[in-house]
Amino acid sequence: MNTSLKPDALYFKKQIYILLLLSVFFYILFIPFCLIVQAENNSGFLLFICGCIGWAALCAFILFFIKLWVNNLSYIIKDTSITIYKGIFTKVEQNIPDRKVTDFILRRGLLDRFLGIGSIKVQTAGGSGEVGYEGILNGILDYKEIHENLRDKLVNIQTSNGATIQQTENANDLVLNEILSELKDINKKIN
């Protein structure tokens, strides 16, 4: 069962909303600054025009790279692992084996809920990041179904691992009992 996923187009839309929100904060701070400069030396209007053009160019540049980033994101959920493909200049293929996964966390922020998307964080026992998540599946449209499937798969793996451990312990007990009986037989023969 290989399930191939890509972030939905709404994920890029979310990034646009975030950039628009940052632009509003920028202009809330920048316009009073330009008015102060205008009052002191009459160059505030020129500063405002240059600042607007510069901010628009920066936003266009950022949006271009965000679009490339989102287009290069893809996820493959396999029977034994989850693979995340990402990167613009350096392509990264991140493979997370199921046996290392400890939990799947569904995250939906305010914009995610507004747009109807979600992110699934893959948590492992040794989490390589500072936040403890090995990988994140961002911008998933049918997040509930995928999250439930991943959680069910995790429960099945943990249950089968528990059964395997129990079988191994039972086999070890049998071997130890056989060794004990052999030692008793040897002890009887010696005495």
Q: Is residue 61 one of the residues assigned to a domain?
A: yes
The number of domains in the chain is 1
Both tokens of 95, joined, read 């493979």
Looking at residue 166, its pLDDT comes to: 60
Q: What is the pLDDT along the chain (191 residues), one digit of tens a residue?
A: 688 899 999 999 999 999 999 999 998 988 888 888 877 887 778 888 898 899 999 999 999 999 999 999 999 999 888 999 999 999 999 998 888 888 889 999 999 999 999 999 998 876 555 566 889 999 999 999 999 988 888 888 777 665 555 666 666 777 788 888 888 888 888 87
Query: Which residue range is the domain that position 33 belongs to?
Result: 3-72
Looking at residue 130, its pLDDT comes to: 54
Looking at residue 112, its pLDDT comes to: 93
Looking at residue 25, its pLDDT comes to: 93
Both tokens of 126, joined, read 């040794």
**3-class DSSP state for residue 180?**
helix
For residues 157, 162, 164, 166, the Cα torsion angle rounded to the nearest 10 degrees is -170
3-state secondary structure 84-115: EEECCCCCEEEEEEHHHEEEEEEECCHHHHHH
Nearest C-alpha neighbor of 32 from the set 14, 60, 55, 51 = 51
Looking at residue 98, its pLDDT comes to: 85
Whole-angstrom distance, CA of residue 169 vs CA of residue 177: 12
Q: Is residue 10 one of the residues assigned to a domain?
A: yes
Looking at residue 90, its pLDDT comes to: 92
Q: Is residue 48 one of the residues assigned to a domain?
A: yes
Q: Is residue 143 one of the residues assigned to a domain?
A: no
Q: Positive or negative CA dihedral for 114, 122, 146, 141?
A: positive
Q: Is residue 67 one of the residues assigned to a domain?
A: yes
- Residue 5 burial (CB count, 10 A): 19
